[in-house]
Structure 1
Amino acid sequence: MAPQYKLIMTTCDNQQNASLLAKQLVTLKLAACVNILPTIESVYMWQGEVVQQTETKLFIKTKSDKLSKVISTIKELHNYDVPEIQVLDVTGGNLAYFHWMDEVLN
Structure 2
Amino acid sequence: MTTHFRLIFTTCANENEARLLAQHLVKEKLAACVNILPTIESIYMWEGEVTQAKESKLLIKTKSEKMNEVIQTIKKLHSYEVPEIQVVDVATGNLAYFNWMDEVLN
TM over 0.5: yes
Q: Which residue does 2:92 correspond to in 1?
A: 92
SS of structure 1 residue aligned to 2:18:
helix
Write the deviation string for residues 75-102 of structure 1: whole angstroms up to 9, x where unpaired. Answer: 0000000000000000000000000000
After superposition, the Cα gap between the structure-2 partners of 1:42 and 1:20, relative to the gap in structure 1 and judged at 3 Å, is same
Alignment of 1:1-106 (within 5 A): 3-106=3-106
1:67 positional shift: 0.4
Identical-residue share of aligned pairs (%): 68
Q: Distance in 1 between matches of 2:2 and 2:70?
A: 18
With normalisation by structure 1, the TM-score equals 0.98
With normalisation by structure 2, the TM-score equals 0.98
Q: Distance in 2 between matches of 1:35 and 1:53?
A: 20
After superposition, the Cα gap between the structure-2 partners of 1:2 and 1:69, relative to the gap in structure 1 and judged at 3 Å, is farther
SS of structure 2 residue aligned to 1:103:
helix
Q: Distance in 2 between matches of 1:3 and 1:94?
A: 11
Where in structure 1 do 4 or more consecutive aligned residues deviate above 3 Å? none
SS of structure 2 residue aligned to 1:37:
strand
- How many residue pairs get aligned? The number is 106
1:2 positional shift: 6.9
For structure 2, list consecutive stretches of 5 or more residues without a partner in the other structure.
Answer: none
Q: Distance in 2 between matches of 1:2 and 1:84?
A: 26
Q: Contact 2:14–2:56 (CA<8 Å) still a contact in 1? A: yes
Q: Distance in 2 between matches of 1:8 and 1:67?
A: 8
